Chain A
Amino acid sequence: MPADLRTRIGHLDLPSPIVTASGCAGTGRELAQFTDVARIGAVTTKSVTLEPRAGNPAPRLAETPSGMLSSAGLQGPGIDGFLQRDLPWLLSRGARAVVSVAGHTAREYGELASRLSDAAGVTAIEVNLGCPDAAAAGRPFALDAAAAGQVVAAVRGSARYDIPVFAKLSPEVTDIVAVARSCVSAGADGLSMINTLPGMAIDPVTMRLALAGLTGGLSGPAIRPVAVRCVWLVREALPDVPIIGAGGVRTGRDALELLLAGAALIAVGTVLFHDPSACSRIQRELEEELGARGVDRVSDIVGRAHEPAGYGAERHSWV
């Protein structure tokens, strides 16, 4: 019998722990050509901003070993366009929408949260803390525990009480647990990690930087071990806070690794550029991986890697 993938976080009931990562599923329409968006856990949207944004010039992406450097610059229609066209489309297809929000001040984040709360059908809000903080000379919010906490507090304060708020953390910090704690005490219902790592590539043909935005965010399987460490550390420190694990998940086995580290949901991102049907495939593979280990429910193995050594081996013969 295949394992039960249904996942419950707070009062959210999702049919699967597999969701898309922000910025990797387009508006949902592009993905829906290859994956039934109603059958995956949720679609996390591109980060929505208050105003329309044209993003960065091309080239925006560079392929690196098992990874991708990107600096798209949050191109999008702004909150009005999103509420008019993109959100209704997702809901019409039966998808659950986790809406990622981005801004330059805590106030902008708060305004976005209140606009989203007025619209029906938002499953959760993910706070993209990777944006430059206008008040701190462009340092991303996620790099400073206090700044991150302020943004989360603004969102939590403006969002309707029944919409969970997830804070997306950056791995580019000395102590991710400190930022996680700050976000949780500011009211975050959950955490999402990890965002991309900063990187740079140079095109050997043109002998110039490969990206028009100079530096980009590194994502893909290359950063998976970084994600596993961050999820594990935060789960160890805050065992009751639900985590969306993200970072180069490519197969059901990769998803299993992050679940064992402590993530309750798994976000599939960059791999969608390589395989647009990855979400459904990973979901199927995860079911098989769990079945092969005699696990009935996916929730049973969340954070299992934190249990003392030998504990699992005694109860299960697969090892």
Chain B
Amino acid sequence: MAQSDREGGVAPVQVRGTVLTVRRVDAYVAMTVVAPAIATRFRPGQFIAIAVGGPQSAMLGRRMFSVHDVRPDHGGTVEFVFAPREPGTQWLADCRSRDVLDVVGPLGRPFPVPREPASCLLLGVGTSAAPLFSLAARLADRSCPTDFLLGAESADRVFGALTARRTGRSAVITTNDGSLGSRGSVVDMLPTVVQQARTDVIYASAPLGVLRAVCALADRYAIPVQALVTEPTMTCGTGLCMGCVLPSVGNDGITRMVRACVDGPVFRGDAVRWDDVGTIPFDALGAPGWKPRPGAPASVAAPTAPSTPDGPPAHGSAGERSNAG
């Protein structure tokens, strides 16, 4: 019973992790933290929540980072990549080796992986691409060929281009200014890449607008998408604050406001109502004026997990995922 509270995963832990390394990677900062309890529990797609500003910090929100990679050295380390943009992440970027951080993780639902070998396209924009590389390794274990489609504004903001070229069957890079790869956005290249690679499933990690476009295109080609969202902004990462909700359609066809941190961050592309993110759709469960359907079972009110239990054919079931870690 205790384990079923958190479907398909092990409960997260809160640890004090020592910073091992802080590196500049082009426009980004890559940080490695010693956190064995998180490293051993981690599965690709999950994220960590870090408290910033020290123990009496005036910044109460945690900062969320998709885990780029975990390694077994020092008992287990966790690496993540970010662009310091606001005071919280700036504080983190100023941390040095041996500083101690309050880290919670691993959080959220991981990427489901195919049961049978399938051609996978890994699509990422900027630092959002970071979680795709541990996923690629996991897919390789399952003999799935992986193709990469990475994009960013400029060459120094494309994350992991080298690794993608080395480990992927193919790697296509796009930049808005044309400084690396082809000029344009990942969405422009998607049709070409999908056709050349004969993609069976797309794993996408990108800003909301890109995910919306990718899911619309994939829908046209009837390719399932697993989308990792980073918006709306998460505050606690643990599901307590109810801040990061987006409208998602469950298997029963009912739209619910679900939390990106616990019901995601990985969603089936066709489950999220991308055009309605940032709103409460009028037909969402409990929206103003909403009425229970006459004769509907009482369990209609129970928010069920919208993501992946009956994934597309190429995907493992939830049960299969939980014993696969």
Interface of A toward B, CB cutoff 8 Å = 23-26, 29-34, 46, 51-61, 63, 65-68, 70, 72, 75-78, 80-81, 84-85, 92, 212, 220-221, 250, 270-277
Q: Does B162 belong to the interface (CB within 8 Å)?
A: no
Known: A33-B238, A85-B302. A52 touches B245 (CB 8 A): no
The answer to whether A77 touches B235, judged by C-beta atoms less than 8 angstroms apart, is no
B197 to chain A, nearest CB (A): 34
CA distance in complex: A220, B241 (Å): 13
The answer to whether B290 touches A273, judged by C-beta atoms less than 8 angstroms apart, is no
Give me 25 A-to-B residue pairs in the complex whose CB atoms sit less than 8 angstroms apart, sorted by A's number. Answer: A26-B238, A26-B240, A30-B240, A31-B240, A34-B14, A52-B290, A54-B284, A55-B257, A57-B278, A58-B244, A58-B245, A60-B232, A70-B241, A75-B257, A78-B301, A81-B301, A81-B303, A84-B299, A85-B302, A212-B278, A272-B240, A273-B60, A273-B240, A274-B60, A274-B62
Which residues of B from 53 to 72 have beta carbons under 8 Å from A? 56-62
Interface of B toward A, CB cutoff 8 Å = 1, 5-6, 11-12, 14, 51, 56-62, 102, 104, 232-233, 235-236, 238-246, 256-257, 262, 277-280, 284-288, 290, 292, 298-299, 301-303
The answer to whether A58 touches B232, judged by C-beta atoms less than 8 angstroms apart, is yes
The answer to whether A63 touches B59, judged by C-beta atoms less than 8 angstroms apart, is yes
Give which listed residue, A51, A60, A66, A274, contacts B243 with CB less than 8 A.
A60
The answer to whether A276 touches B286, judged by C-beta atoms less than 8 angstroms apart, is no
CA distance in complex: A76, B242 (Å): 10
Known: A25-B240, A66-B58. A80 touches B286 (CB 8 A): no
CA distance in complex: A300, B284 (Å): 50
The answer to whether B241 touches A61, judged by C-beta atoms less than 8 angstroms apart, is yes
The answer to whether B51 touches A84, judged by C-beta atoms less than 8 angstroms apart, is no
CA distance in complex: A274, B60 (Å): 5
List, in ascending order, chain A residues with CB within 8 A of B243's CB.
58-61, 70, 72
| Secondary structure of the B contact surface, majority rule | loop
Closest to A65 in B: B58
B57 to chain A, nearest CB (A): 8
List, in ascending order, chain B residues with CB within 8 A of A65's CB.
58
CA distance in complex: A24, B240 (Å): 6
The answer to whether A60 touches B242, judged by C-beta atoms less than 8 angstroms apart, is yes
A284 to chain B, nearest CB (A): 14
List, in ascending order, chain B residues with CB within 8 A of A60's CB.
232, 241-243, 245
The answer to whether B285 touches A54, judged by C-beta atoms less than 8 angstroms apart, is yes
B106 to chain A, nearest CB (A): 12
Q: Which 8 A-B pairs have the closest CB atoms?
A: A58-B232, A52-B286, A81-B301, A54-B286, A273-B236, A61-B243, A30-B239, A53-B286
Closest to B11 in A: A33
